[in-house]
Amino acid sequence: MNRSRLIARRLAQMIPVLIGVTLVAFALLQLIPGDPAASMLGLHATPEAVAALRHQLGLDQPLWKQYLTYLGDVATFNFGTSLKFRTTVAALLADRLPVSLWLVVYSAALTALIALPLGILAALWKDSLFDQIVRAVLMVTMVMPAFWVGILLLIVFSLRFGLVPVAGAGEGFVDSLHHLFLPSLTIAVGIAPVLVRSLRTSVLEAMGSDYVRTARAKGLAERAVVSAHVMKNALIPPLTLFGLSIGYLMGGTVIVENVFGLPGAGKLLVDAISARDYPVVQSETLIFAALVIAVNLVTDLVYTFLDPRISIS
């Protein structure tokens, strides 16, 4: 099976998965206590006004009919109108989603910058003082909650030393790099330990393999052996973990955006859940799920370039 057929098949598989995501999100929203119409009208709203607004919004229809209506709208890329913000969901996402996507990319880059050198050096200098320090630090950072790490970084780097802004996403590329550094670092600290451990183990296994011993027997320099033979094969397991971590990374944006006051899709999601803003919650859940599936597809394709022996079927 060639890569184009693989992509087409995986895209087709996305359809039932995304439908399942919309169904689960819709069902869970019904369990949240409260009435969106009553929340929109305030504490002094009369029962008649609440009933009229529920009818206007279609909330008095049977649940199955509400779900099918929403599904039909999504099929035509109509995400509806926010119940809380009184504007189209598409406009809200166009304003908020770029911040979250930029945060995800920034966090992924910082994770790679942390995990790659630490994992490789810890394996090459196995059982050295450096290796022991790395493993000890990773054991601590692995169990620290993201919100606690974010608050700690804010206190140290923003409030105490004033090196980075306390909140906001910045304007322009350079300003965004400055504003989003701490939020991205917070997410990276939570993901990097697992990747470092995986990369260290993979490098050690690759260095003990037959093809590496053969390369050394041919007289290749150690740097050439590591770069050409060890790394290409050792990157596959950490890459798998990294692809799976994208879901955690996107979930981390929800927490981090609220800690740092970022105007992104994660903060929008929390506000929408509090207000039982069905269209926003369902649309964001669907988009996040689609992004995770797309990243996993890209990860599968990268496998075939790192190791042609891996069948793409």
Distance CA(138)–CA(157), nearest Å, equals 21
One domain for residues 97 and 245: yes
pLDDT of residue 22: 82
One domain for residues 38 and 110: no
Averages of pLDDT over runs of 10 residues in the chain (313 residues) are 70 81 81 72 74 77 82 80 82 87 88 88 85 84 78 82 74 78 86 85 80 74 71 76 75 80 84 81 84 78 65 50
Distance CA(209)–CA(280), nearest Å, equals 51
One domain for residues 95 and 48: no
Q: Could you give phi then psi for residue 194, rounded to 5 degrees?
A: -65, -40
pLDDT of residue 17: 82
**How far is C-alpha 50 from the geometric centre of its chain's CA atoms?**
37
One domain for residues 39 and 116: no
Q: Could you give phi then psi for residue 81, rounded to 5 degrees?
A: -120, 135
Distance CA(250)–CA(164), nearest Å, equals 23
In a domain, residue 312? The reply is no
pLDDT of residue 183: 87
One domain for residues 175 and 101: yes
Show which of 23, 43, 75 is a domain's final residue.
75
Which residue range forms the structural domain that includes residue 70? 3-75
Is the Cβ–Cβ distance between 182 and 106 less than 8 Å?
no
pLDDT of residue 308: 60
Handedness of CA 242, 245, 249, 252 (dihedral sign): negative
Is the Cβ–Cβ distance between 238 and 199 less than 8 Å?
yes
Distance CA(121)–CA(79), nearest Å, equals 48
HEC profile for 168-182? CCCCCHHHHHHHCHH
The total domain count for the chain is 2
Is the Cβ–Cβ distance between 158 and 83 less than 8 Å?
no
- Comparing CA positions, the residue from 296, 284, 293, 224 lying closest to residue 93 is 284
In a domain, residue 84? The reply is no
One domain for residues 139 and 44: no
pLDDT of residue 310: 56
Q: What tokens were used for 159? A: 């409030």
In a domain, residue 82? The reply is no
Coarse DSSP helix, strand, coil percentages of the chain, rounded to the nearest 5 percent: 75, 0, 20
pLDDT of residue 83: 77
One domain for residues 42 and 94: no
- For residue 257, the domain's CATH number is 1.10.3720.10
In a domain, residue 81? The reply is no
Distance CA(89)–CA(82), nearest Å, equals 6
pTM of the model: 0.78
pLDDT of residue 210: 73
Distance CA(110)–CA(9), nearest Å, equals 32
Q: Could you give phi then psi for residue 128, rounded to 5 degrees?
A: -80, 175
